[in-house]
């Protein structure tokens, strides 16, 4: 059974089509990178999968509609959606997805939160103020929070924004481990750091441009279709590198 399948998925805001007739099947477990220019509908696609927006067509997540599959998904939003006026500590941020469902904080929630915080290398920040952390540290805490419900699917919207190279590499190593048991969808502008652990790439520009393995999909022809300009691609064996990265995003 695929983790995610969509049939003719269309999202429309008034007369504007953010996504048109997107049909795709994503296997479980796997790591899929979603690429496309700004305004290509990448975040819209994620929001449709999360059941946050209305759409036409069909979405199935482990054969359930998005609204019934929420407990299966861990979500890392773009950091600018977080309200920094709320003076939460790191432990509060981690515990919110679980404690917002019950009146008390159970011991197992705390031990799971500590475990996830250790996984992202932030164990010493358990009592730190979330707002006082650097952008990269906040991103790691939010990453740990996405794991709190033991999801089968992890949806990450630009997870490497504001992270330094070291943090990025440690998160990528984590994703490498997690993809053995989870389906991971990541919106990225620059695929290069992820090339070696990516199973499939979904190129999106309101419509599906291409979907397949890195070596099949990442080529100059598809990059031209995606970004509307020539972007050099270097191929070394089964690995491809897009020259330009964020410059063309």
Partner 1 sequence: MLDILVLRGIIAVFLISAVSATVGSFSIFRGSTFFVSGIAHGALAGAALGIFIALTFFTVDYLVVALLFAILFALAIGYASHRNENVDVAVGIMFAVSMSLAVLFLSMIREYASVAWGLIIGDILLLSQADIEILVVSVTFIVLIFLIFFRKFLYVVFDSESAEASGLHVFRYETLLFILMAVGVVSLLKCVGAILVYALLIIPAAAARRAFPTVEGTIAGAFIIALVSGLFGIGMSFVVNVAPSSMAGLFAAGVYALTLFRK
Contact residues for partner 1 (CB under 8 A)? 50-52, 70-71, 73, 75, 77, 81-83, 85-89, 92-93, 96-97, 99-100, 103, 129, 131, 145, 149
- Closest approach of partner 1 to the CB of residue 231, in Å: 31
Q: By C-alpha distance, which of 192, 216, 215, 217 is closest to 204?
A: 217
Would you say 109 or 241 has its CB closer to partner 1? 109
What's the min distance (Å) between Cβ of 56 and partner 1? 20
Give me the least distance between CB of 37 and partner 1, in Å please. Answer: 22
Q: Which is nearer to partner 1, 91 or 189 (CB)?
A: 91
Least spacing, CB of residue 242 vs partner 1, in Å: 29
Q: Which is nearer to partner 1, 67 or 235 (CB)?
A: 67
Q: Which residues pair with 207 in a beta bridge?
A: 205
Provide the minimum distance between the beta carbon of 154 and partner 1 in the complex, in angstroms, as a whole number. 12
| CA torsion, ordered 121, 153, 67, 92, to nearest 10 deg | -10
Question: How does strand 239-242 pair with strand 233-236?
Answer: antiparallel
- Tell me if 177 sits within 8 A of 29, measured CB to CB: no
- Please state the closest distance from residue 75 (CB atom) to partner 1, in A: 5
Distance CA 162, CA 182 (A): 25
Contacts of 163 (CB under 8 A, 6+ apart): 135, 136, 139, 140, 171
Task: Rank residues 182 and 214 by Cβ distance to partner 1 and give the closer one.
Answer: 182
| Range list of H helices, 147-188 | 165-178
Residue linked to tokens 């794991």: 147
| Token pair of 157 as six digits | 């919207």
Of 49 and 210, which has the nearer Cβ to partner 1?
49
Choose between 100 and 165: whose C-beta lies nearer to partner 1: 100
- Min dist CB 241 to partner 1, Å, is 32
Cβ nearer to partner 1, comparing 148 with 209: 148
Q: How far is CA 155 from the centre of its chain?
A: 4
Alpha-carbon distances of 150 from 58, 109, 116, 181, rounded to whole Å: 25, 11, 10, 11
What does the CA dihedral 138, 140, 145, 146 come to, rounded to 10 degrees?
120
């Amino acid at each position: 059974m695929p983790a995610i399948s969509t049939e003719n998925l269309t999202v429309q805001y008034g007369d504007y089509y953010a996504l048109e007739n997107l049909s795709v099947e994503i296997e479980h477990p796997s790591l899929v990178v979603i690429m496309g220019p700004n305004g290509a509908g990448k975040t819209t696609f994620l929001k449709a999968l999360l059941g946050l927006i209305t759409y036409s067509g069909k979405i199935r997540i482990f054969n359930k509609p998005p609204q019934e599959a929420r407990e299966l998904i861990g979500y890392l939003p773009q950091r600018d959606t977080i309200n920094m006026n709320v003076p939460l500590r790191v432990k509060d941020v981690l515990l919110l997805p679980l404690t917002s469902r019950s009146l008390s904080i159970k011991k197992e929630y705390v031990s799971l939160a500590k475990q996830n915080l250790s996984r992202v290398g932030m164990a010493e920040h358990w009592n730190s103020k979330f707002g006082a952390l650097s952008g990269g540290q906040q991103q790691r805490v939010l990453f740990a929070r996405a794991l709190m419900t033991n999801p089968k699917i992890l949806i990450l919207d630009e997870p490497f924004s504001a992270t330094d190279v070291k943090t990025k590499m440690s998160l990528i190593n984590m994703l490498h481990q997690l993809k053995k048991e989870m389906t991971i969808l990541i919106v990225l502008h620059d695929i290069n750091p992820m090339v070696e652990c990516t199973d499939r790439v979904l190129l999106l520009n309101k419509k599906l441009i291409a979907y397949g393995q890195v070596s099949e999909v990442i080529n100059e022809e598809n990059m031209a279709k995606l970004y509307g300009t020539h972007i050099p691609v270097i191929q070394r064996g089964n690995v491809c590198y897009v020259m330009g990265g964020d410059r063309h995003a």
